[in-house]
């Protein structure tokens, strides 16, 4: 891990954050209060929603922000930075405010997942690392959510460390997968660091180390009688693997009165093999023996396997989860949305592009979610100015900002703010929840979404509307910039 090698993560920033900071100081703008939104533009895999993750890593990062003497020496050696700027960095400390949606929250394009209010240099320096963490962990949590939903209540385990793009990706990726609904991981370090339950079975090498497959299975059952899951496809799954597993269970576990055990399939036609294995195990009296399957699985393969009648209790998912192989980029961005003058007046800022999807939503904002009082289902999200409130005692007409002719009237709803204060005046004011609490929250909030929003293909587009005041400000800025 980078931190374990005494690397200062403050320096994990794009070089232009530093050159801009030097420029802000030279221009007398170092104390200029700025507002930045971190948001994403499209949901991976064409899904209906994403899962926010990475906040805990952001908190840890902000709390440890500092420039060490060797960092200052490196920057001085580049010959680009003034001594005034280097002196500023020597005394650097984050003094701003941060708001964020809690980890595990289902989120939608263009909504602010993190809002930063801070002096210009401070806000700018946060950009790279915050995007790195939110982009990666939200991507993996979103993929995990899809895979877990495809499994329809069956256990899903994250098995991807050996295919992850580096050690940090393996460890925090396992954490994100757990938030998204996975029951555990094969990564011991993620368990040690974050409490993601780690476990495993055996490799083919275990079976090959013994003279016979049966000897290997007997030895494993003797060593781990209460956690015996045997890999049965090293040689011939149905002719030797499953029969030898049954024999080992009979000889070692049955005399101990142990009925719970398992087998794992890692190759071949998993639907056919799992059905035949289930039949063989049941006929031998091992009805409580579970069947775990792995081998390049994803949500679509899992859905197809179950549709074909596969008898699988647990899925071990590796490379296609830990790398989000089908769409390995989350696409989060960090954009200036407002500046504040010394009197406290806030001036909105907008980024305009010929690509409509890249036009930003200006101003310091609140993010609301409307929940139906009768069903608890999420009805729509609503962006307002920071000083607006929502009256949820009556009805409200909302629009789809990307198709303004589409409108929806919400009624009998409860409006809840999604953005929580994390840092105020540089001080942490947010109590980080336990990882298990985040996972439970994610599952509960995902259940508030309608099935039409959760489906994999052509999901219903969830409404994310702007208040009239915010809409007018955006339109005025668009026309003013033409």
Q: Per-residue pLDDT tens for 82-108?
A: 999 999 999 999 999 999 999 999 999
Structural fold of domain 201-308: TIM Barrel (3.20.20)
Q: Per-residue pLDDT tens for 432-481?
A: 999 999 999 999 999 999 999 999 999 999 999 999 999 999 999 998 86
Checking DSSP bridges between strand 413-417 and strand 365-372, what pairing results, if any?
Answer: antiparallel
More confident residue, 2 or 394: 394
C-alpha 378/C-alpha 454 separation (Å) is 12
Q: Per-residue pLDDT tens for 143-191?
A: 999 999 999 999 999 999 999 999 999 999 999 999 999 999 999 999 9
What is the H or E stretch that residue 305 is in? Answer: helix 299-307
Task: Tell which residue, 154, 113, 155, 160, has the closest CA to residue 134.
Answer: 113
- What average pLDDT does the segment 287-292 reach? 98
Rounded to the nearest 10 degrees, what angle do helices 127-151 and 299-307 cross at? 0
400: Cβ contacts below 8 Å, ≥ 6 apart:
406, 407, 408, 461, 463, 465
Superfamily of domain 3-140+328-480 in CATH is nicotinate phosphoribosyltransferase (3.20.140.10)
- What average pLDDT does the segment 106-133 reach? 97
| Percent share of the chain, pLDDT over 70 | 97
Tell me how far CA of residue 249 lies from CA of 49, 206, 213, 236, 264, in angstroms.
Answer: 44, 17, 13, 18, 14
C-alpha 408/C-alpha 117 separation (Å) is 33
C-alpha 2/C-alpha 10 separation (Å) is 12
Q: Per-residue pLDDT tens for 395-432?
A: 998 877 666 556 789 999 999 999 999 999 999 999 99
Rounded to the nearest 10 degrees, what angle do helices 167-179 and 435-447 cross at? 50
Q: Per-residue pLDDT tens for 63-82?
A: 999 999 999 999 999 999 99
C-alpha 295/C-alpha 58 separation (Å) is 33
SS3 352: coil
Residue extents of the structural domains in the chain:
3-140+328-480, 201-308
pLDDT higher than threshold 70 for residue 3 = no
């Amino acid at each position: 891990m980078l931190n374990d090698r005494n690397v200062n993560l403050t320096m994990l920033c794009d070089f232009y954050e530093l050159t801009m900071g030097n420029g802000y100081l030279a221009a007398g703008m170092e104390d200029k209060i700025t507002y930045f939104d971190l948001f994403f533009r499209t949901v991976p895999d064409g899904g209906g929603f994403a899962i926010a993750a990475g906040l805990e890593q952001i908190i840890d990062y902000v709390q440890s922000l500092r420039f060490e003497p060797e960092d200052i020496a490196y920057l001085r050696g580049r010959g680009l930075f003034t001594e005034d700027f280097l002196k500023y960095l020597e005394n650097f400390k984050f003094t701003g405010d941060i708001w964020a949606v809690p980890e595990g929250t289902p989120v939608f394009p263009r909504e602010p997942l993190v809002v930063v209010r801070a002096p210009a240099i401070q806000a700018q320096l946060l950009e790279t690392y915050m995007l790195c963490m939110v982009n990666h962990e939200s991507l993996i949590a979103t993929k995990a959510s899809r895979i877990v939903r495809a499994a329809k209540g069956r256990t899903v385990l994250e098995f991807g460390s050996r295919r992850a793009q580096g050690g940090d990706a393996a460890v925090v990726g396992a954490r994100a997968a757990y938030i998204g609904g996975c029951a555990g991981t094969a990564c011991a370090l993620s368990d040690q660091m974050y409490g993601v339950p780690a476990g495993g079975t055996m490799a083919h090498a275990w079976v090959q180390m013994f003279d016979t497959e049966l000897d290997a299975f007997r030895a494993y059952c003797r060593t781990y009688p209460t956690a015996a899951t045997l890999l049965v496809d090293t040689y011939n799954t149905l002719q030797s693997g499953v029969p030898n597993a049954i024999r080992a269970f009979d000889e070692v576990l049955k005399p101990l009165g142990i009925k719970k055990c398992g087998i794992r399939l890692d190759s071949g036609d998993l639907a056919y093999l799992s059905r035949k294995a289930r039949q063989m195990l049941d006929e031998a009296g091992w009805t409580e023996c579970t069947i775990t399957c792995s081998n390049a699985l994803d949500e679509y393969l899992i859905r197809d396997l179950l549709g074909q009648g596969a008898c699988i209790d647990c899925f071990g998912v590796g490379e296609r989860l830990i790398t989000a192989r089908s769409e390995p980029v989350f696409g989060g961005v960090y954009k200036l949305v407002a500046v504040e003058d010394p009197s406290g007046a806030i001036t909105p800022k907008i980024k305009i592009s010929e690509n409509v999807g890249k036009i930003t939503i200006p101003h310091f904002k609140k993010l609301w979610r409307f929940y139906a009082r009768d069903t608890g289902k999420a009805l729509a999200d609503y962006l307002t100015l920071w000083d607006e409130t929502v009256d949820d005692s009556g009805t409200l007409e909302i629009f789809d900002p990307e198709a303004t002719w589409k409108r929806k009237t919400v009624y009998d709803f409860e409006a809840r703010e999604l953005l929580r204060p994390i840092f105020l005046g540089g001080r942490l004011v947010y109590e980080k929840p336990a990882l298990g609490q985040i996972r439970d929250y994610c599952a509960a909030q995902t259940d508030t979404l309608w099935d039409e929003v959760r489906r994999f293909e052509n999901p219903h587009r969830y409404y994310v509307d702007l208040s009239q005041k915010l809409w007018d400000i955006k339109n005025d800025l668009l026309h003013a910039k033409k």
